[in-house]
Amino acid sequence: MDKQLLEKYFKGDCTEQEVTAVEAWLSGSDTRLLDEFMMQKWTEANEPVVKKTTIHRIWYGAAAAAVLGAITVMGFFWQHGSTKRPVALKRDTLSNNTNNIQLFTMADGSEVWLNTHSSLISQQDYNKDRRELWLNGEAYFKVVKDEERPFLVHTGNLTTTVLGTAFNIATANKADGSIQVSLIEGKVAVSIQHTFNKILLPGQMLQYVDGKAPQLLAFASNEVLDWKKGKIYFDNTLLADVLAKLQQRYGCRIVLEEQQLLKKKISGEFNRDMSLEKILSTLAYVHNISFRRVDDSTFYARSK
């Protein structure tokens, strides 16, 4: 195996024989050459770009379609079915401050499902010389393959580099502030400020919190992608992480008043269109917890 053949494979230029050989090699345990190849692509993608260009960037806002005439792209709200949303030009930030999932189609055709109360920043020359995004919150990416312009997603100190694949990133689903990169299909390289580089395989999650060594874990897709199916799913999940996920989904603040509550574990599935109050009421009944609302967006939790 060599980098030239890997280059052909990711470009889609291999013969059937070469595809079989590369995929057999990729299924092996020795990924050092692949690590070097992906790091090379990551480095190339992060080299300074001299050329300055401006492109049409998509942004789903609340403005009426008539304002922008016929310039529209397809998006949707999960609970309300498909709808058309207008494109605004030269915007750097895609924000979803609603309680519904939003789908954004980028200029290169890549799709980004942005979870509630999440945001995505695009660099100014997206899809001209590079494809680079900064995520806060949670998003699912389905990336169009473009070997010449790798797809980069920055989350804190983590950078996820992609050639063409599907994956999920969450930055606020855990109480410890850890970031989870979960690979659904294909391959991605996850790097930490040039000090760490790991190739993920489908079904693998890299979990990272600043100051600690990254963890490589298996994950259940029904838990990681529950939000795309209109669900909130917990499987023997620590209460602290349950509340962190609810805070992300509902844009609220839930404060634990007693440390012993951290040891409680929750299992269950809720519909995403259920009110937060109803979910908290269910948790309170089953797990002997009292939730007290102090203002429009803040709750306090304690033992009954």
> Tens digit of pLDDT for each residue in 32-63?
676 666 666 655 554 543 333 222 222 222 22
CB-based contact 252:298 (threshold 8 Å)? yes
Q: What is the pLDDT of residue 39?
A: 61
Q: What is the pLDDT of residue 201?
A: 87
CA-to-CA separations, 40 to 3, 43, 65, 283, in angstroms, rounded: 10, 5, 43, 48
> CATH assignment of 230-303?
3.55.50.30
**pLDDT cut 90: percent of the chain above it:** 31
Backbone Cα Rg of the chain = 21
pTM of the full structure: 0.68
**pLDDT cut 70: percent of the chain above it:** 76
Each domain of the chain, given as residue ranges in start order, spans: 1-30, 65-222, 230-303
Look up tokens 């998006």; give the residue: 75
80 pLDDT tier (thresholds 50, 70, 90): very low
Q: Which of 182, 180, 172, 300 is nearest to 245 (CA)?
A: 172
Q: Do domains 65-222 and 230-303 have the same CATH topology?
A: no
d(CA 242, CA 237): 6
Q: Which of 93, 113, 112, 84 is nearest to 101 (CA)?
A: 113
Burial of 91 (0-12, 13-18, 19+ CB in 10 A): middle
Considering the segment(s) 65-222 as one domain, its CATH architecture is: Sandwich (2.60)
**154: Cα separation from own chain's centroid:** 10
d(CA 195, CA 83): 44
